[in-house]
């Protein structure tokens, strides 16, 4: 019934309470239709009969009357699930469903009323446009496997299990799309695969990458990394840093293979490389970069069973105080570390990584100078007394090339000293200038920092030293017990694989931005 302002309906109610009402006169007075006044009078009489307590409540209205549904409507409600189940179109369309309905009920609803009843029923039962393609049956064995997938660590299996179980529970496709972050077509393909071939077809990888293609990509990335380790001047470019365009030209000149700018950028992104502001360089300006690198590779290629190759460097100095780092904390809480702290001391770790068996030897120093390097060499001479030759590789720090160190090497390599002490011969294989990225022990130091330095709060220098000793002891024990796994990451602590490879970086690339040219 058409509603009039509350003030006018209240006036009609008041006149009804007084007694007999003159419809025409009241309609003229209120400026409304006479029939409208009559309907409100009729409503008042029904309220007085059915709800006597609400007679004086001018805002009360009769509840809407339910329409009596015809047999044609009830037949439609029974038939709608059948129509959806036997639909063969890619998605549910009202016109197609209505045509199927009229084939059963030629004198049934027209398209308009069929669509109106169908839309109300569809919303009440959460029927989406693709409900007819849902999974209709799952065996107990398949359900058990899908539940395992849903709780497993594989994201792809979790997505597939969520979709299949959700489809079986008649969840809307749009809801599952938002949850698993996949397109509608992908979800429908998974559902069709399950309905066609069960779990086996669903779990099958429907695409394969050629091993030859994967090998080409790996070689291409290693070659790009080798070029980044060299300065552009070595390849005829008068620049201090690489541009992607120059990198492509140099790649074609050196390896006689074309590479596009987009391909180079894509591979740089995959390797985590890009342009970023830093004081550390990925290039070496040493004009003898290639001869020095070839010399080291020659030594490692022909390294004998009684020979050892060491990567030597210093870690520190670092202060003994509360350090920042990652740790498990309650949601909404942030662990804070005071910027100004009183140091409890400092530590410098001078260490050597033996590449053949992946063993670390270390000492603690108070300075970075030649004397500390000599101490480390003397430790290695005693520890590897049963070998014939030791190769030492380090960066171009001044104390690694001092006259005092040269004199000490001449002394310990003399025949008299070696016969008296039974020690091996020591030879140097220095790295190119500014080529810390080739110093393999840097990855070990990265693992050390992540394991026992970051997020620490040692109370003394001795406590910190014990933690470092324990870390290296456990690391060495692991590689002695698993020699075939030498070069693998240990406990997930080391950022990169500790092995000599000019196509890799020994330091972490954390913080590098995407490549731009």
The strand pairing partners of 318, in sequence order, are 347
460 and 431 in a common domain:
yes
Label residue 324 by pLDDT band (50, 70, 90): low
What is the count of structural domains for the chain? 5
104 and 177 in a common domain:
no
356 and 425 in a common domain:
yes
Instruction: Give the integer Cα–Cα distance in Å for 511 and 241.
Output: 19
368 and 420 in a common domain:
yes
Higher pLDDT, 178 or 439: 178
Q: What is the pLDDT of residue 55?
A: 78
Contact 515, 275 (CB under 8 A): yes
Q: What is the pLDDT of residue 387?
A: 92
Please report, for the domain that includes residue 455, its CATH number.
3.30.420.10
307 and 424 in a common domain:
yes
403 and 382 in a common domain:
yes
Instruction: Give the integer Cα–Cα distance in Å for 145 and 194.
Output: 13
96 and 47 in a common domain:
no
- The parent domain of residue 157 ranges over 134-203
241 and 181 in a common domain:
no
Helix, strand or coil for residue 402? coil
pTM as predicted = 0.46
Query: What is the chain's alpha carbon radius of gyration, rounded to the nearest angstrom?
Result: 41
Higher pLDDT, 293 or 421: 421
Residue 275 lies in a domain: no
pLDDT tens digits, one per residue of 143-163? 888 888 888 778 888 988 899
Contact 295, 288 (CB under 8 A): no
Label residue 248 by pLDDT band (50, 70, 90): very high
141 and 117 in a common domain:
no
Instruction: Give the integer Cα–Cα distance in Å for 58 and 9.
Output: 8
The pLDDT of residue 500 is above 90 = no
């Amino acid at each position: 019934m058409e509603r009039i302002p509350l003030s006018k309906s209240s006036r009609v109610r008041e006149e009804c309470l007084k007694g007999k009402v003159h419809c025409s006169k009241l309609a003229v007075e209120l400026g409304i239709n006479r029939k409208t006044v009559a309907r409100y009078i009729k409503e008042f009489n029904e309220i007085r009969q059915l709800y006597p307590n609400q007679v004086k409540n001018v805002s009360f209205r009769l509840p809407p009357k339910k329409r009596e549904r015809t047999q044609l409507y009830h037949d439609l409600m029974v038939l709608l699930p059948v129509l959806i189940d036997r639909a063969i179109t890619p998605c549910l369309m009202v016109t197609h469903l209505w045509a199927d309905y009229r084939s059963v009920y030629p004198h049934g609803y027209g398209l308009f009323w069929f669509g109106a009843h169908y839309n109300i029923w569809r919303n009440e039962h959460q029927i989406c446009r693709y409900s007819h393609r849902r999974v209709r049956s799952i065996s107990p064995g398949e359900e058990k496997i899908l539940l395992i997938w849903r709780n497993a660590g594989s994201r792809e299996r979790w997505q597939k299990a969520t979709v299949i179980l959700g489809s079986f529970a008649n969840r809307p496709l749009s809801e599952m799309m938002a949850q698993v972050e996949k397109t509608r077509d992908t979800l429908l393909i998974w559902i069709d695969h399950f309905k066609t071939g069960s779990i086996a077809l669903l779990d099958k990888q429907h695409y394969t990458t050629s091993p030859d293609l994967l090998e080409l990509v790996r070689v291409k990335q290693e070659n790009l990394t080798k070029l980044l380790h060299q300065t552009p001047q070595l390849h005829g470019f008068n620049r201090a840093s690489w541009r992607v365009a120059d990198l492509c030209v140099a790649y074609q000149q050196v390896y006689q293979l074309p590479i596009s700018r987009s391909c180079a950028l894509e591979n740089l992104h995959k390797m985590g490389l890009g342009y970023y502001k830093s004081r550390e360089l990925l290039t070496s300006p040493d004009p003898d970069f290639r001869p020095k690198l070839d010399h080291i590779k020659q030594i490692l290629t022909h390294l004998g069973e009684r020979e050892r190759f060491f990567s030597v460097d210093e870690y520190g100095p670092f202060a003994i105080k509360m350090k920042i780092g990652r740790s498990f904390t309650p949601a909404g809480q942030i662990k804070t570390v005071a910027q100004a702290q009183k140091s409890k001391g400092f530590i410098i770790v001078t260490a050597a990584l033996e590449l053949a068996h992946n063993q670390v030897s270390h000492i603690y120093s108070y300075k970075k100078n030649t004397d500390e390097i000599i101490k480390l060499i003397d430790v290695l001479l005693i520890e590897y007394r049963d070998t014939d030759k030791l190769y030492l590789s380090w960066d171009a720090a001044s104390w690694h090339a001092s006259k005092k160190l040269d004199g000490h090497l001449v002394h310990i390599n003399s025949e008299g000293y070696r016969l008296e002490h039974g020690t091996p011969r020591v030879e140097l294989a220095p790295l190119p200038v500014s080529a810390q990225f080739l110093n393999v022990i840097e990855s070990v130091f990265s693992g050390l920092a992540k394991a026992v330095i970051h997020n620490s709060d040692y109370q003394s220098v001795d406590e910190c030293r014990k933690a470092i000793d324990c870390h290296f002891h456990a690391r060495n024990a692991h590689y002695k017990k698993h020699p075939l796994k030498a070069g693998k990451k240990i406990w997930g602590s080391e950022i990169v694989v500790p092995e000599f490879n000019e196509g890799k970086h020994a330091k972490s690339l954390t913080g590098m931005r995407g490549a731009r040219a």
